[in-house]
Amino acid sequence: MNSGRSTEEFSIQKRGHLLIEDPLLNKGTAFSDQERSQFGLVGLLPPHIDTLEEQVERSYEAFCDFQNDIDKHIFLRQLQDENETLYYRLLLEHISEMMPIVYTPVVGLACERFSHIYRRPRGIFISYPERDQMDEILENIERDIEVIVVTDGERILGLGDQGAGGMGIPIGKLSLYTLCGGIDPAKTLPILLDLGTNNEERLDDPRYVGWREHRIKGAEYDAFIDQFVQAVKKRFPDVLLQWEDFASVDAERILDKYRDDLCTFNDDIQGTAAVTTGTILAAIEAAGGKLTDQNIVMLGAGSAGVGICLQLKQAMLQSGLSEDEAKARFYVIDRDGLLHSGRSDLDELHQRLAQSPENLQGWDCDVSGAISFADVVRNAKPGVLVGATGQTGAFTEEIIREMASHEEHPVIFPLSNPTSRAEATPEDLLKWTDGKAVIATGSPFDPVEYNGVTHVIAQCNNSYIFPAMGLGIRASRARRVTDSMFMAAAFALKEASPALKDPTASLLPSLTIIRDVGRSIARAVAQAAIDAEVADSLTAEEIDQRIEETMWKPEYKSL
């Protein structure tokens, strides 16, 4: 075990204002008379003793008083820094309303304005000038840590380089680990690796809190990352380390280098792939189709788009297709058009999804040069279209109507975040397909009324996957994260789809039962880890027991 002190030990050592100011221990007005006397709190709090339920009601009233989303986000972040138990109980009771505030889409604006709304330290910042002090920095964390989310802030959602402002993402992700997956907040740690920023607006901002230099790249960047990984392994050898919002060129390389070195995964690559795969599988089945019959167009060849395609391809292989048959089903498009083997600019990863010239024979366009998005949709006749571009309006009416002309129920997923970067709105997609499209989005959208039918739009959000992955990994004591564990998560998510029982229902379950869904996914993940021999050998009953023991609940405990 790690050498950090436990939360219980803090409760003995801290008194008075120090106790009230610790968000992991603070109960505010809910401290009992005995606790107030024992821990030097008499007179420091109003005399009335509230229940947690009363505190939730008061906090919700305060939340509702704010008129805009960023102020609501700031309020919730301040509450988190004051009293984590109250914060998570409030979120659980109002999860559908508040998850978009603490995470997408509002977290994007919070990252952009991070330096202006900064209030109180949370997590740790490791800047490039402090690279030789990493061991000392991590030793400043006096708790056992089981889950770390780390970013370098270079590719925040669809907003690009936010530098130190990217810290909003690890903070938000770990909030969802606790909210949706029941990971104890005392055992989580957000980290921002500050290697500078190439965002001139941030560098010119007098309020910017980060290291005010352009980004370190190349050999120096790789050495910094390696130094960080070694420091984490030394201080927290059993931790789950999640990489988040790194530039595509770095994300793949980092994952490949360290995935067999410690318990780690990249949520943009693997988590996005799993939630999208599970949701697409549900969409195809709900529409009466089969995965192996689908041609799939992916607009966007970054880490998310490629990861989704590779996992869907693996699902096709598991369904009986050969490697060549499965590969022929995918049409991936980057800024220079369709990936095909005639192009000389493709790296090894993109070559794995490049179409062969034989599959393009007979197309009514010039296949010797750049092949456009419109050309691909017209000729490939896809049943599934996914967007991971960050480009608003990339799904045009002409292209969507072309797709709908040859597909009865086109599956269309504009996944880019935040909402302002979506490739199309659900309202337009339903209008252009005469209400027949099966839709999931990356950011939340309100239900859409079309021809008297209400369409509930599923948010294909990683929050269905990575918290449950964390729960399954911690419960099974997994030592590594395998592709099979993500595939198990995808299939478990598909089985939870309400649309399998009612085609008019949402593709994904309600957020109000996300902890129950998380248990089911965690169970599948734990079993896959056991099957891959990277976790303890457990029976089904022991897995369930471990999951319940691992899940933290927002309830006050006696000090």
Residues annotated within the binding site for a divalent metal cation are 244-245, 268
Q: How far is CA 257 from CA 41, 128, 262, 456, 458, in A?
A: 51, 21, 10, 41, 34
Q: Among the options 27, 173, 187, 494, which is catalytic? A: 173
The H or E element that residue 180 is part of is: helix 168-181
Name the DSSP class of 138: H
8 A C-beta contact, residue 437 and residue 412: yes
For the record, the structure tokens of 129 come out as 């000038």
Annotated binding site for (S)-malate: 155, 417, 461
For the record, the structure tokens of 339 come out as 């990936």
Q: Among the options 103, 177, 258, 464, which is catalytic? A: 103
Name the DSSP class of 4: P
**Is 173 considered catalytic here?**
yes
267 closest CA partner among 234, 298, 243: 243
Annotated binding site: 155, 244-245, 268, 417, 461
91 closest CA partner among 554, 549, 557, 460: 554
For the record, the structure tokens of 17 come out as 């204002």
Residues 6+ apart with CB under 8 A from 192: 123, 124, 125, 126, 150, 151, 152, 153, 164, 166, 167, 170
Name the strands in the sheet holding 240-243, side by side, starting at the edge strand that comes first in the sequence.
Answer: 124-127, 188-194, 147-151, 240-243, 264-266
Name the DSSP class of 248: H
By DSSP bridging, strand 411-414 and strand 438-441 are parallel
8 A C-beta contact, residue 137 and residue 203: no
Query: Furthest-apart CA pair in the chain: how many Å?
Result: 83
Task: Please state the φ and ψ torsions of residue 388, each to the nearest 5 degrees.
Answer: -140, 60
For the record, the structure tokens of 538 come out as 């457990």
d(CA 416, CA 421): 6
Enumerate the active-site residues: 103, 173
